[in-house]
């Protein structure tokens, strides 16, 4: 592909919140691609991941999908595991102090994190690095020199810090180090491009570029990705909010969860978590706008694409067939509340806790009347342990998607 075609693909799904900044980053990306093409070298790109959890959901893969696009275009990708930045935890989108992890916790999470990432990235073309390799070598004089490029005001104007300041909550000094450490990562890796979400805007566009310039390096270009909403279509995908689509789920579960997103969120998913090129995304959007593509069919197309990204096309086909049998032919709604059950909860406990019945006596009555089903199969024992994740139906019109924690 020529440079302009590459830029169109690589800027898909980006969000800067400022048109002039977006134009600056796009122009710099085009210039750097042109320079690399003339010099006969590959662009070097990285994204850092703090393995503070071992469980990934597809929201985590938005930046990985962008890295994969760079790989497919022939560029060099570094998957950076934040073995040192994880010790602090990024405060960018948090309104309270993150707990400090141990090095052992970070390394254990990192092993699982990288394996899951290779479901998106090309393992053979991915360079894995750990930022303790260089951050552990910095001394106090180095930190003073790096910190001298920033003011306290720059940090306090950031939304998360400002909210804590205004409410009188503590802001700890070590939290300021995070952006500086991330900026040094970009310098140490000698990268051309850094990929990250909008919550990383300050760390990438301000801190990293400032650190690199202060150390006489050419500042890298920020490719800032939109944040994927959860299955509610509103707030950021999060396991703690229960609106996530786990990477380590089943094809059927992944397909069903994509089908549960509101219609209004379909375009964000199309741009951020599919393998579709810009022309494919535009055709998808135009089909919805012109009503030549029914929203139900559009969502099925989207769900199949997302599922086949992490599983095989055959598994996505099977998941789609199962969905049609279970939900469309059985007249089960595609959008329903979700509920995470705790170990040891009984069928009756879950019915009450998920607000599918008003009381235990009503729950027992519904079970006695054969009116309670899990994935289409009748549940007959109220006090039995809840058998497995799935769609719980009580009566004809009450449904909930049950997840095992």
pLDDT tens track for 116-133 = 889 899 999 999 999 999
Domain 338-404 class in CATH: alpha beta
CA dihedral 112→113→114→120, nearest 10 degrees, is 120
pLDDT tens track for 295-343 = 999 999 999 999 999 999 999 999 999 888 776 666 677 678 889 988 8
Domain with CATH 3.10.290.10 in the chain: 338-404
Report pLDDT for 99. Answer: 59
- Residue 211, sorted as left (phi over 0), alpha (psi -120 to 50) or beta, turns out to be alpha
pLDDT tens track for 212-270 = 999 999 999 999 999 999 998 988 998 777 788 988 888 998 999 999 899 999 999 99
DSSP state of 325: I
List the Cα angle 219/222/225 in 5-degree steps.
170
- Checking if the pLDDT of 97 tops 60, the result is no
Report pLDDT for 240. Answer: 75
The DSSP-derived string for 290-307 is: HTSS-HHHHHHHHHHHHH
- Checking if the pLDDT of 93 tops 60, the result is no
Q: Is the dihedral of CA 363, 367, 369, 370 positive or negative?
A: positive
Strand partners, 77: 45, 126
With bands split at pLDDT 50, 70 and 90, how would you rate the model's confidence at 287?
Answer: very high
Strand partners, 49: 81
Domain with CATH 1.10.240.10 in the chain: 251-328
Which CATH superfamily is 251-328 part of? Answer: Tyrosyl-Transfer RNA Synthetase (1.10.240.10)
Contact criterion met (CB below 8 Å) for 211 and 135 = no
pLDDT cut 70: percent of the chain above it: 94
With bands split at pLDDT 50, 70 and 90, how would you rate the model's confidence at 94?
Answer: very low
CA–CA separation, 211 and 289 (whole Å)? 45
Let me know if 192 is exposed, middle or buried by CB neighbors in 10 A (0-12, 13-18, 19+). Answer: buried
Domain with CATH 3.40.50.620 in the chain: 3-225
Contact criterion met (CB below 8 Å) for 212 and 187 = yes
pTM of the model as a whole: 0.76
Strand 377-378, strand 372-374: pairing: antiparallel
With bands split at pLDDT 50, 70 and 90, how would you rate the model's confidence at 16?
Answer: very high
3 state SS of 401: strand
Annotation: CATH topology of 3-225: Rossmann fold (3.40.50)
- Checking if the pLDDT of 292 tops 60, the result is yes
- Residue 375, sorted as left (phi over 0), alpha (psi -120 to 50) or beta, turns out to be left
List the Cα angle 107/46/203 in 5-degree steps.
85
- Checking if the pLDDT of 185 tops 60, the result is yes
CA–CA separation, 194 and 149 (whole Å)? 20
CA dihedral 268→273→278→280, nearest 10 degrees, is -90
- Checking if the pLDDT of 159 tops 70, the result is yes
CA–CA separation, 218 and 192 (whole Å)? 8
């Amino acid at each position: 592909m020529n440079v302009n075609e590459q830029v169109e693909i690589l800027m898909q799904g980006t969000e800067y919140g400022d048109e002039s900044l977006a134009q600056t980053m796009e122009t710099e990306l085009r210039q750097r691609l042109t320079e690399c093409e003339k010099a006969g070298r590959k662009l070097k790109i990285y994204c850092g991941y703090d393995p503070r959890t071992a469980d990934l959901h597809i929201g985590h893969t938005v930046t990985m999908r962008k890295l994969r696009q760079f790989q497919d275009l022939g560029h060099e990708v570094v998957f950076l595991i934040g073995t040192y930045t994880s010790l602090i935890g990024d405060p960018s989108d948090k309104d309270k102090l993150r707990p400090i992890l141990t090095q052992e916790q970070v390394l254990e999470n990192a092993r699982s994190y990288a394996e899951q990432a290779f479901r998106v990235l090309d393992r053979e073309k991915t360079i894995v690095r750990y930022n303790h390799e260089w951050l552990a070598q910095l001394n106090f004089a180095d930190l003073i020199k790096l910190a001298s490029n920033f003011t306290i005001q720059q940090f306090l104007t950031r939304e998360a810090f400002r909210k804590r300041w205004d409410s009188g909550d503590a802001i700890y000094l070590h939290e300021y180090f995070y952006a500086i450490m991330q900026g040094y990562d970009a310098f140490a890796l000698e990268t051309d491009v850094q990929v990250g979400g909008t919550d990383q805007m300050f760390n990438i566009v301000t801190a990293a570029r400032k650190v690199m310039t202060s150390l006489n390096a050419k500042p890298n270009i920020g490719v800032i990705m939109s944040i994927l909403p959860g299955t509610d279509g509103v707030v950021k995908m999060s396991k703690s909010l229960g609106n996530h689509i786990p990477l380590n789920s089943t094809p059927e579960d992944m397909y069903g969860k994509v089908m549960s997103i509101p219609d209004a969120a379909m375009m964000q998913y199309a741009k951020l978590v599919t393998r579709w090129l810009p022309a494919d995304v535009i055709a998808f959007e135009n089909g919805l706008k012109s009503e030549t593509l029914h929203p139900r069919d559009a969502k099925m197309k989207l769900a199949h694409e997302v599922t086949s990204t992490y599983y095989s096309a055959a598994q996505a086909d099977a998941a789609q067939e199962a969905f049609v049998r279970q939900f469309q032919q059985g007249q089960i709604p595609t959008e329903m509340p979700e509920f995470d059950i705790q170990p040891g909860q009984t069928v009756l406990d879950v019915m009450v806790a998920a607000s599918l019945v008003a009381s235990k006596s009503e729950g027992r009555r519904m079970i006695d009347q054969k009116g309670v089903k899990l994935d289409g199969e009748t549940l007959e024992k109220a006090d039995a342990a809840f058998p497995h994740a799935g769609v719980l139906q009580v009566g004809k019109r009450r449904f909930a998607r049950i997840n095992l924690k």
